C-alpha cells in the first residue's frame, strides 16, 4: 500500500510511513493509481478544409493589400527615383499590392495546413496528450480529473462536412457570459457525436 500523505510505498504491516512519519491505518493508506504508459485508447486529428481557411483570411487580405500598396509602394517609389531606375511610378504600388494580395492567403493557408497536419490528440486511460503547432510547437498533458466540463459545438460549415469541435474545460478556464473563453479545443474532428461520447466515457471513468 501507499502513504496517503506523501505517496511512498510502505509495507502492509507498517504503522508509520518510513519517508514522512505519517501514522498509517487501513483508512489512511490508499493505493496510488500509476499513469497509463501503454498505447492511447483514442487518437484524433483535425480535418483541414482549404477553402474555409482561404475565405477566413479575406478581410485581413484586403486590408493588408491596401496598406502594403500604399505604404510599401510609396517607399518603393522614392527608392526607384533615388536609384534612377527606368520604372514607371505606379509599378511599385502594383508590385507590393500583388505581393500582399497573393502572399498573405498563401502564407496563412500553408501555415494552417501544416499546423493541422502536425496536430494530434492522444487519449490514454488517465490523461489527454495534446500536440499542436507549426511555427511554435506546443505539447500539453491534461489529467482527466482536472476536466470540469465537456461540450461540443458544430458550426454551419462543420455540419456540412460532418465535423465538430469538442471543448474540455479545466479549473483555469475563464468564462464570460456563461461561455468558456479558453481551454482545450479539439477542432474539426470527424464523427463528432461518436467522439464526444467516447471522450465523455473516458473522462468519467
**pLDDT score of 174:** 53
Q: Which has the closest alpha carbon to 198: 131, 125, 92? A: 125
Domains in the chain: boundaries = 1-26, 52-115, 119-204
CATH architecture of 119-204: Roll (2.30)
pTM value is: 0.65
Helix (H) or strand (E) holding 42: strand 42-44
pLDDT value of residue 30: 42
Q: In this structure, what are the phi and psi dihedrals at residue 95, rounded to the nearest 5 degrees? A: -60, -50
Q: What is the DSSP letter of 163?
A: E
Tell me which residues of the chain have a pLDDT lower than 70.
1-10, 12, 16, 18-37, 172-182
| Dihedral (CA of 33, 39, 40, 42) sign | negative
pLDDT at 20: 65
Residues 6+ apart with CB under 8 A from 104: 57, 60, 61, 64, 65
Q: Is the dihedral of CA 177, 190, 203, 125 positive or negative?
A: negative
Task: Pull the grid cell for residue 189.
Answer: 474532428
Amino acid at each position: 500500500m501507499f502513504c496517503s500523505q506523501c505517496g511512498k510505498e510502505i509495507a502492509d504491516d507498517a504503522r508509520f510511513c518510513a519517508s514522512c512519519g505519517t501514522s498509517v491505518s487501513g483508512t489512511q493508506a490508499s493505493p496510488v493509481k500509476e499513469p497509463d504508459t501503454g498505447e492511447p485508447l483514442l487518437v484524433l486529428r483535425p480535418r483541414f478544409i482549404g477553402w474555409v481557411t482561404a475565405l477566413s483570411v479575406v478581410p485581413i487580405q484586403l486590408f493588408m493589400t491596401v496598406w502594403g500598396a500604399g505604404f510599401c509602394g510609396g517607399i518603393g517609389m522614392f527608392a526607384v527615383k533615388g536609384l534612377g531606375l527606368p520604372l514607371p511610378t505606379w509599378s511599385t504600388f502594383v508590385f507590393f499590392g500583388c505581393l500582399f494580395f497573393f502572399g498573405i492567403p498563401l502564407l496563412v493557408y500553408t501555415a494552417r495546413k501544416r499546423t493541422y497536419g502536425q496536430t494530434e490528440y492522444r487519449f490514454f486511460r488517465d490523461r489527454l496528450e495534446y500536440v499542436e503547432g507549426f511555427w511554435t510547437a506546443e505539447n500539453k498533458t491534461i489529467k482527466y480529473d482536472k476536466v470540469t466540463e465537456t461540450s461540443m459545438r458544430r458550426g454551419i460549415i462543420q455540419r456540412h462536412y460532418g465535423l465538430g469541435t469538442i471543448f474540455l474545460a479545466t479549473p483555469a478556464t475563464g468564462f464570460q457570459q456563461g461561455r468558456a473563453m479558453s481551454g482545450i479545443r479539439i477542432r474539426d474532428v470527424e464523427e463528432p457525436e461518436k467522439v464526444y461520447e467516447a471522450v465523455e466515457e473516458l473522462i468519467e471513468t
